[in-house]
Structure 1
């Protein structure tokens, strides 16, 4: 189950988070205006409690209670994660220019004016229809065959575009929602604009050959994103990429992390959207023709072409999407066509759906009240919509799958949450989306993500807890990838994977040389003043700060190159057509190994850490003496070190020049690449040995959070979201008994209390696994017994059987909390 704190992004657009930090001055200077600071930290939130029809009205501090009761029970204990004194609010700067003429596109206002909050329970839900059961049976069989072969099939002759393939069906007579990426279910396509070498390697891995004519065109005639990037990369960038201090960069495939406002197609129809883009060209993209305006005018023309192709694709299935959707089926189908065009054209690492539950619910409620549809028919539409999202496929290399295990597509769907006034946005369709996990069984996709707020209806929170315990598959604004929040249709993100901070720490001790290869990758730091004696904390911390300054500059320059070339050679035409023409751009950086860095600094400060050198004179191991505080046990002595690392790195990033005036954000998220990062990193001062995995995301290192579940949650919640606006991922595993041995309702209430407490404390995101280690160990040896075993790994869900053995063992090695 993946949950995100209900952040004050809202439908109005501004992000209000955290405290005032000195480093905000860097953003102030960069965007030529003060970052908005004010007294929005204390407000009154009003939403339906769901218990007895009363409103939940209470003083809030940045979305958290201003005062809390004394603990009296498990529920009260987790609620006693205290919210401290009110802090000034900060809004992300919005450098978009004012427009001469507003096009009037505003889905958020439509949703706000028309959605119907639901406070009841799940008793209204319907089971799967016979047609849906038959379709899913066909797909389940195909998925099993795909798992055995690695891939169901691929067409290497036809580069994928919106209209490259004719209509495809699973079983046309049984489908109420139609459309496939190619002309057959699960059949892969090639997308060479990202990089022809990636396509060639992926085909070869599965026994296919790239046709010579395709290779010639994308090598000699049509330049690709990957070719452009490597033409512009400096030697320093190439060395950093090779060593693994920068890893997972989107320089050979689609960058993803962009959410088109697919609702616009249903609400307005494509013809209206085309006219709005033409109006932008006529009124809002005039004046001085500088580089940015010339480029944007060209991009808008490409967007218009993509919208026309979207109409053509839908027409091939017999639908006219030039006009708005007129009923429930058309609303779902029109939204899906828009998304389908995006995944036909792009192979980004995260191709999210966004926040569509309340929007679709407006159509369902209207048709239900008019007697035009029944509840089972509504559920059938949702089941088949989800079914289509489950079978999205992209062609990947084995190296890609090592970083992003389990073939994820991150079709993230955001559910629930609150509106600007604090009112619940939980609708019946949020329940219906979760109900697909029962009707169709657990699955990793779509990545169902609940926007959690303590004042959401109690029935809905209990239902979420129940679904989580039963399936482990739960995961205006939407979430791109796992934890990245954006305003749908108004913000876009430049994805940048993440950097390896433990490796950087070792570079600062080894004169900038890589501890494994011995290559000179970083600056030539002077020898340690402490020599071979115990490491000095002040010296190591100062060197790490200096190293982060170097790495931030290199990382940002690398990102600038990547995204310049992606816009030039692999532009997301249809997804950007479903945005405002002027968008706010976020430049998404990431860090890995946060807990390793925090524990290493703690070991150096509170214990004695002696460096051990090899024959090359490089420090490749450490002797650790004495005990030291470990991150994950609610100990400020070390938790504040983790906070310092995140704050310091984003402060250095904020000083950099960014592509297209984008705003730096930071995530603490590793996906499953924590295993790969560990393999590429030598021994670290905390006692972790060469090659051992890092912890996922912001988690404590395996087994080191030894003081129970709540202490572990407390440590992670201290990482300030205001400094990590791209998200802080926490993957949390509980054995079933820790939630109590009573009935299901009592256990669900206990899990709700844990989640409420974590988010009150300031937590941003949590995956919840409720399972036993012994079952996972059995699944390693007998995968045939667990074909649909779905677990949360690091911001997303995956079929356990699709992980490599190393990744499976790393998951098993994580902490499974058996006490609170």
Structure 2
């Protein structure tokens, strides 16, 4: 009987014709295929082509649907009684005869699927909050017959976990939504075809377990079996659109379509907080370049294919609850697409396709999705660095990550970003996403003996509060370390519960089917409020902070009497304190047992939930007022009051952030900056050159991430007053891009209040 591997050989003449190398033909190794076949491009953007008529027609239609969606509170349509699976919906189209790349999450564009496996209460809340009825039969099935992730989590939570969650010392936990941040290596569909991938999973299943059936072996065998079935279902889904993805792709259009079907399977079956598509640019360029050289397509048609792929990624939508939208405003789904970067061999991975992908922001205008991410190094070709700086300046739609740090710390030149700032090696790693702990609130717990300043509940273990009229630095530091020790243990234990239940009741079978069966897992924690914690400690040390108490003796306000150094102003002492907090908390995290022996990491990232976290946090010793938003990510405090804020310009702020040690925050360090166009220069050429130089310098100094906004606050104020004038105004916030009009009024005000630098 002919094996799939033997059948695969027969496809070589067409599917792999002209491709170099042999090792990737003998085993699944997409990186090797890329390294041996991609064409580095060191030129400029002069080859790029305008939008095709089909692109214009499709984009016009989609814009009309987006407007209806906006008028209906972000919901075009919703399903309420078909649990979403790979095969739950028939094929759907935008304009079938115009689409070069096809496939929708449901059978109608922008229709949000019903996804109850994460939690029926959340699925029903998403429906009812948007005016749709919850289906009684579905509610009964997923309450009485089929347990969900959310129910499993709350069955296992301890009282202490529930209390900490309620008081928002740990926040945004993925216990009420899909965890996401898992990237399947969707390139494998195009390179090998589904049948070969299924054969390899069958081999992995047979080789897992050697007579001794321990719990981890049993679990892995079951998971691989689920992956195998998911691959078969994906074939059925693609067949409903008229495509046979059992075999490898034979040309550029098929390569893009096959790859997209892999990703489509993920977004059909999971609603994770981040559903990244990964690092696909150089891979697809190999197929495009072969077709260009053979006269199969033109450059105009190549751009058309990429435009249509990106348009599909702009259409991804999930049903969300109001509580979720408060945390992650503007309907982000993080279809993060990572481009560029350097190879370990010294070549850049820049291809013409990296230009094409950025050019979609010109052909179809700015857009939050996909979350376009440039893996940056000052060693990238100058033509690409200049083009990327230009697109960033013109659209405020892309983010930059330090590729030199990625290669050095992850040991690969095939990393992608799994959300906003979280790195993962394609096909080799998966992440357990863990939201974040509020270390600004932890400062207040240290002062008040573990009592929450907002609810007056005893949340942390009871200990003697600080009772003096002013805060003693040495006493505070001992208390703060005690709080961080307690918080790290509770936080990790809480996440262990969440990920155990997610694997059990909401397993990501199709995404993991495109990954190695034996994975490296990271256990991602997160930190909110790093700048306020830092500045508060600096105030306690240098500012002679006077304490104001309520009638119960609880410290509720703080008045610094003296000046004190603050993070974000290129002050070495303040920046060192930020690093101390990061390192100490991460050390405590590493001491805990982590689910499935995963490697602990942390991030400095808040998303737009810095507004929600700020509401739950009282006055802090640095002078920040109760209820005010926390500074996002690793950003310095806002300019607020006598002592807070960036005072020394953009470069000083970047210098402070660049001092943060990425080795202690391997889940990423988010930094969002806005600069007035005139602050970059008097004309476009100067502005582009200066922005490119800022990026070169920042990343050479060890900065990890940068969101770049180039606009004035006057523009945002006008957009706030007249949203109809700016339907596609896109801005970068902590870790993603968003249409400004889709932010809540509170979040719009928060963005406007942030520092907009008027000088370098």
TM over 0.5: yes
**Per-residue deviation, 1:523:** 1.2
Structure 2 Cα separation of the partners of residues 212 and 795 of structure 1: 38
- For the pair 1:612 / 2:548, whether they are aligned, the reply is yes
What residue in structure 1 maps to residue 439 of structure 2?
501
What residue in structure 1 maps to residue 80 of structure 2?
156
What residue in structure 2 maps to residue 353 of structure 1?
277
3-state secondary structure, aligned to 1:383: helix
- For the pair 1:565 / 2:488, whether they are aligned, the reply is no
Structure 2 Cα separation of the partners of residues 491 and 235 of structure 1: 33
- For the pair 1:776 / 2:716, whether they are aligned, the reply is yes
1:146-185 equivalent positions in 2, closer than 5 A: 146-150=69-73, 151-185=75-109
Structure 2 Cα separation of the partners of residues 173 and 281 of structure 1: 42
What residue in structure 2 maps to residue 733 of structure 1?
674
Whether the 8 Å contact between 1:607 and 1:625 is mirrored in structure 2 is yes
Whether the 8 Å contact between 2:450 and 2:483 is mirrored in structure 1 is no
Structure 2 Cα separation of the partners of residues 310 and 392 of structure 1: 18
Give the counterpart of 2:210 among 259, 274, 286.
286
Cα RMSD of the aligned pairs, angstroms, is 0.9
What residue in structure 2 maps to residue 675 of structure 1?
611
Structure 2 Cα separation of the partners of residues 527 and 335 of structure 1: 57
Structure 2 Cα separation of the partners of residues 195 and 591 of structure 1: 26
Give the counterpart of 1:413 among 329, 334, 337.
337
What residue in structure 1 maps to residue 65 of structure 2?
142
**Per-residue deviation, 1:283:** 2.5
1:513-592 equivalent positions in 2, closer than 5 A: 513-528=451-466, 531-592=467-528
Which has a greater percent of helix? 2
Structure 2 Cα separation of the partners of residues 516 and 103 of structure 1: 61
**Per-residue deviation, 1:325:** 0.4
1:669-696 Cα distance to aligned partner (Å, 9 max, x none): 0000111100000000000011011111
Whether the 8 Å contact between 2:208 and 2:221 is mirrored in structure 1 is no
Structure 2 Cα separation of the partners of residues 760 and 127 of structure 1: 34
1:532-566 Cα distance to aligned partner (Å, 9 max, x none): 32211111112111111100000000000000000
1:60-105 Cα distance to aligned partner (Å, 9 max, x none): xxxxxxxxxxxxxxxxxxxxxxxxxxxxxxxxxxxxxxxxxx9821
What residue in structure 1 maps to residue 353 of structure 2?
429
Whether the 8 Å contact between 2:208 and 2:220 is mirrored in structure 1 is no
Higher relative contact order (CA 8 A, sep 6+): 1
- For the pair 1:488 / 2:429, whether they are aligned, the reply is no
What residue in structure 1 maps to residue 43 of structure 2?
120
Whether the 8 Å contact between 1:592 and 1:697 is mirrored in structure 2 is yes
Whether the 8 Å contact between 2:439 and 2:527 is mirrored in structure 1 is yes
Q: Is the deviation greater in 275-284 or in 560-569?
A: 275-284
What residue in structure 2 maps to residue 322 of structure 1?
246
Give the counterpart of 1:634 among 555, 570, 591.
570
1:370-381 equivalent positions in 2, closer than 5 A: 370-381=294-305
Give the counterpart of 1:510 among 448, 458, 463.
448
What residue in structure 1 maps to residue 6 of structure 2?
none
3-state secondary structure, aligned to 1:197: helix
Whether the 8 Å contact between 1:624 and 1:686 is mirrored in structure 2 is yes
**Per-residue deviation, 1:362:** 0.3
Structure 2 Cα separation of the partners of residues 430 and 350 of structure 1: 22
Whether the 8 Å contact between 2:338 and 2:375 is mirrored in structure 1 is yes
- For the pair 1:479 / 2:420, whether they are aligned, the reply is no
For residues 324 and 593 of structure 1, do their structure 2 counterparts lie closer, same or farther at Cα, with a shift above 3 Å needed? same
**Per-residue deviation, 1:287:** 4.2
**Per-residue deviation, 1:284:** 4.2
1:436-451 equivalent positions in 2, closer than 5 A: 436-451=360-375
Structure 1 Cα separation of the partners of residues 212 and 705 of structure 2: 44
Structure 2 Cα separation of the partners of residues 231 and 648 of structure 1: 32
What residue in structure 2 maps to residue 625 of structure 1?
561
Structure 1 Cα separation of the partners of residues 387 and 693 of structure 2: 13
Whether the 8 Å contact between 1:462 and 1:745 is mirrored in structure 2 is no
3-state secondary structure, aligned to 1:507: helix
Structure 1 residue ranges, 4+ long, deviating more than 2 angstroms after superposition: 283-288
**Per-residue deviation, 1:745:** 2.5
Structure 2 Cα separation of the partners of residues 422 and 617 of structure 1: 62
- For the pair 1:230 / 2:165, whether they are aligned, the reply is no
What residue in structure 2 maps to residue 722 of structure 1?
663
Whether the 8 Å contact between 2:374 and 2:398 is mirrored in structure 1 is yes
- For the pair 1:207 / 2:148, whether they are aligned, the reply is no
Structure 2 Cα separation of the partners of residues 287 and 576 of structure 1: 25
Structure 2 Cα separation of the partners of residues 712 and 702 of structure 1: 12
Whether the 8 Å contact between 1:404 and 1:671 is mirrored in structure 2 is yes
3-state secondary structure, aligned to 1:733: strand
What residue in structure 1 maps to residue 652 of structure 2?
711
For residues 657 and 671 of structure 1, do their structure 2 counterparts lie closer, same or farther at Cα, with a shift above 3 Å needed? same
Structure 2 Cα separation of the partners of residues 285 and 791 of structure 1: 50
1:594-641 Cα distance to aligned partner (Å, 9 max, x none): 000010001111111011111222111112111111111100111111
1:695-735 Cα distance to aligned partner (Å, 9 max, x none): 11000011211101110000011110000000000001100
- For the pair 1:600 / 2:530, whether they are aligned, the reply is no
**Per-residue deviation, 1:420:** 1.0
User: Which runs of 5 or more residues in structure 1 are unaligned?
Assistant: 1-101
**Per-residue deviation, 1:746:** 2.4
What residue in structure 2 maps to residue 300 of structure 1?
224
Give the counterpart of 2:699 among 746, 759, 779.
759
Structure 1 Cα separation of the partners of residues 575 and 364 of structure 2: 41
**Per-residue deviation, 1:282:** 1.8
3-state secondary structure, aligned to 1:124: coil
1:13-92 equivalent positions in 2, closer than 5 A: none
Structure 1 Cα separation of the partners of residues 26 and 474 of structure 2: 56
3-state secondary structure, aligned to 2:526: strand
1:235-254 equivalent positions in 2, closer than 5 A: 235-254=159-178
Structure 1 Cα separation of the partners of residues 613 and 676 of structure 2: 28
Whether the 8 Å contact between 2:673 and 2:706 is mirrored in structure 1 is yes
Whether the 8 Å contact between 2:446 and 2:465 is mirrored in structure 1 is no
Structure 1 Cα separation of the partners of residues 536 and 44 of structure 2: 48
3-state secondary structure, aligned to 1:278: helix
Whether the 8 Å contact between 1:260 and 1:578 is mirrored in structure 2 is yes
- For the pair 1:133 / 2:133, whether they are aligned, the reply is no
**Per-residue deviation, 1:292:** 0.6
3-state secondary structure, aligned to 2:525: strand
**Per-residue deviation, 1:108:** 0.5
Structure 1 Cα separation of the partners of residues 601 and 486 of structure 2: 18
Whether the 8 Å contact between 1:532 and 1:612 is mirrored in structure 2 is no
Structure 2 Cα separation of the partners of residues 385 and 287 of structure 1: 46
**Per-residue deviation, 1:422:** 2.3
**TM-score after normalising by structure 2:** 0.94
1:454-508 Cα distance to aligned partner (Å, 9 max, x none): 1100010000010011101112011011000010110000000001111111111
- For the pair 1:816 / 2:756, whether they are aligned, the reply is yes
Whether the 8 Å contact between 1:103 and 1:280 is mirrored in structure 2 is no
Whether the 8 Å contact between 1:261 and 1:489 is mirrored in structure 2 is yes
3-state secondary structure, aligned to 1:392: coil
What residue in structure 1 maps to residue 293 of structure 2?
369
What residue in structure 1 maps to residue 5 of structure 2?
none
